[in-house]
Amino acid sequence: MRILQEQPTDKFKPCQQGTFEDNLIVFDRRVKTFVNVGPNTKPETFSFRQNAWFCSDGNRRPSLPSKEIKGIYQIDPELENAEIPDLKVRSKNPRLRKVGAHAFKMKDADI
């Protein structure tokens, strides 16, 4: 994930108050930086909620610029179709059915 300010001028407020929620993130030891934070941003104002994080080769939690609310950690998503391009990847684990791209439902507030 990247938090960037594309137009660093006085005409725009610093990038702030973004939301990262209901995502399924599978990573391994090669991931060193979970959130790349650029200059002229306010990463501490971002919300991280209900994301499921699974480290496939260890037991590591992400380092985030603000506290995760109701995060899910180290539940194996048992992914199906992960190795086949262009197919929907879903978790076979029933505890993770409500997170990830396949579970996204537009809310009235998003319209």
CA distance 23 to 61: 15
pLDDT > 70: what percent of the chain? 86
Residue 110 has pLDDT above 60, yes or no: no
Confidence bin at 33 (pLDDT 50/70/90): very high
What integer pLDDT is reported at residue 10 of this predicted model?
Answer: 81
Q: What is the mean pLDDT of the chain?
A: 87
For 62-93, how does the pLDDT look when each residue is reduced to its tens digit (9 = 90+)? 999 999 999 999 999 988 766 766 666 778 88
Residue 45, SS3? helix
What integer pLDDT is reported at residue 29 of this predicted model?
Answer: 94
For 56, half-sphere exposure in the C-beta direction (CA atoms, 13 angstrom radius) is 10
